[in-house]
Amino acid sequence: MACIPTGSEKRERKMVSKNKKPHFGHESMHTHSQSIESAVVDQSKATAEDILHKTDMGHDVIAVRPADSIHKVTEVMKANGIGSVLVKDQNGHMVGILTERDIVRGFADEPDDTFDETAADLMTTNVVTATPQTSLMELLHLMTEGRFRHVPVLDGEHIAGLISIGDVVKFRLRELEYEALKLKQMIVG
């Protein structure tokens, strides 16, 4: 059975932290490291809207029509230096998304005929979307779990922008750099 120390024994007893430095009962062994850890682990409060505004990705979303040939779509992608395009109908409503991966799969399935196929033939129609209020962490989760790299952001019926996983990662890296700077300033004083 363990002995329960008396009040005077409690006051006199020193505790030793993991790094073998003496530690007294009125101090917390984890106060400093826990405050740093909580600052670093604190999840981003950023949203899709923040990412769109900071990266200027929301202004001009490149889109094609369902009847456009894959050849035309690849020219649009090359000219704009992008890896995906939204597919919009004649009313401007999104009906799908077409990515480099979709096109590569088309070539794997039908190497000789893919350029003649249309955007509607190869596009993904069951598009996962986000809202401007979707958090950065939710976006990362959606993309990694769904194994896709582009998410359209819809504000009601309006297309607010298209976010790539690269946009999310760059945004988060900037946040982490800022947090690291704040931590350094906190440590230095």
The per-residue pLDDT for range 156-175, each reduced to its tens digit, is 988 999 999 988 988 888 87
Higher-scoring residue by pLDDT: 49, 12: 49
Residue 53 burial (CB < 10 Å; 0-12/13-18/19+)?
middle
Which of the four pLDDT bands, split at 50, 70 and 90, describes residue 9?
very low
The pLDDT of residue 13 is 40
Give the DSSP H/E element, type plus range, for residue 34. helix 31-41
pLDDT score of 58: 52
The beta strand positions in the chain, using DSSP E, are: 15-16, 22-23, 63-64, 84-88, 94-99, 150-155, 158-164
Q: Which two tokens stand for residue 65?
A: 């029509």
**Position 3 pLDDT exceeds 60:** no
Per-residue model confidence (pLDDT) at position 60: 75
Tokens standing for 95? 């009906």
Burial status of residue 101 (CB atoms within 10 A of its CB: 0-12, 13-18, 19 or more): middle
